[in-house]
Amino acid sequence: MFSRLIPRRCFKVWYLLVVVYQSFCLFRYHQVADGTGASQFMNAWASACKGLPLSSIRHDRAALMPRDQPTPTFDHIEYVIPLPKPDAEVTSNNRPVATKKIRFSFDMVKKIQSKAVKENDERGFPTYSTFESLTGHLWRCITKARGLSGDIETRTTIICDVRRRLTPSISEDYYGNAIFRSCARTLVTQLTEEPLSYAAGVVHASIKRLDNDYIRSAIDYIEHRRQNTASFGRPLSTVLSPDLKVTSWLQMPLYKLDFGWGTPVYAGPSYVPFEGLIILNTSHTQDGSVDAILTLFEDDMAKFENICFEVPN
């Protein structure tokens, strides 16, 4: 229903911002700013509406510039798009896609995290964050719901804010795009047969890999690709299966926004353009619950809903 808020016409000019009053819909160009930047913008907008002073921001992009001679030092698989299966688009063309918001209560989130951490303690490994544990759980459940099996590789691309990962770190008041990808990958058999801690561990390792050296290499890699490739980016595919893409809005205070008439009852995407995307967001209940907004084929979604709250003891 939220897709109705987006004007259905071809823009002759691509606007940086489109606002539709009634429910309150934003359309923004992601290359201008990431989620943190969008949050800064909306906070400033809300403050302006209430006559409050605005916080200062920085636009200096120097910290994210490539070296004079871009020299990647790592293999950046997160920016290499896997070749689609020959029959993937054909078999999926007639399958309707569903977008749903699945709420994981505070108790359920802690149960999932505790399960991953307990299994890790038994192996002597480090603990995992809420994001890592829940992402691992969703990855396993969705893979099972999709009916995948065997030695098929499955990837989860995770969108990471690197402001605090660079040396020196980027100031928190930086307005721009400071997100990079990490790629967690494994085989379907391992993901579904190993315990939850395995999936959380694969996610954890992929995020931990994003240190200063890796990010600097990624910047050079992107610049090198930009200079040598006419079109750089994901092909226009609407299906990610057997893969996923996960982004976290958990640090964005969307439900604390107040333009003068109170806080929102829903804050989230109006439209999800492809199968296999997960957005983790705080719940409007503000009690520690997490909303997983995800898009799957309808028949896979039904299977997912039947198993997503099952956490083995």
Asked whether the beta carbons of 72 and 287 are under 8 A apart, the reply is no
pLDDT exceeds cutoff 80 at 25: no
pLDDT exceeds cutoff 90 at 32: no
Residue 90 has a pLDDT of 44
Question: Is 9 domain-assigned?
Answer: no
| Residue 147 backbone zone (phi > 0: left; psi -120 to 50: alpha; other: beta) | left
Question: Is 97 domain-assigned?
Answer: yes
Number of domains in the chain: 1
Residue 102 phi/psi, 5° resolution? -105, 120
pLDDT in tens, 103-118: 999 999 999 999 998 8
Question: Is 11 domain-assigned?
Answer: no
pLDDT in tens, 80-101: 877 665 545 445 667 899 999 9
C-alpha 172/C-alpha 286 separation (Å) is 24
Asked whether the beta carbons of 169 and 178 are under 8 A apart, the reply is no
- Tell which wins on pLDDT, 313 or 215: 215
Residue 17 has a pLDDT of 67
Question: Is 312 domain-assigned?
Answer: no
Question: Is 27 domain-assigned?
Answer: no
Query: What residues are labeled active site?
Result: 30, 258
pLDDT exceeds cutoff 70 at 10: no
Question: Is 46 domain-assigned?
Answer: no
Question: Is 28 domain-assigned?
Answer: no
* Domain extent for 79: 55-307
Which residue from 251, 243, 253, 142 is spatially nearest to 192, judged by alpha carbons? 142
Domain of 186, CATH number, reads 3.30.559.10
65 pLDDT band (50/70/90 cuts)? very high
Question: Is 123 domain-assigned?
Answer: yes
pLDDT exceeds cutoff 90 at 206: yes
Residues contacting residue 86 through CB under 8 Å, at least 6 positions apart: none
Burial-class residue 310 by CB neighbours within 10 Å (0-12, 13-18, 19+). exposed
Place of tokens 């951490």: 117
Q: Give the pTM.
A: 0.88
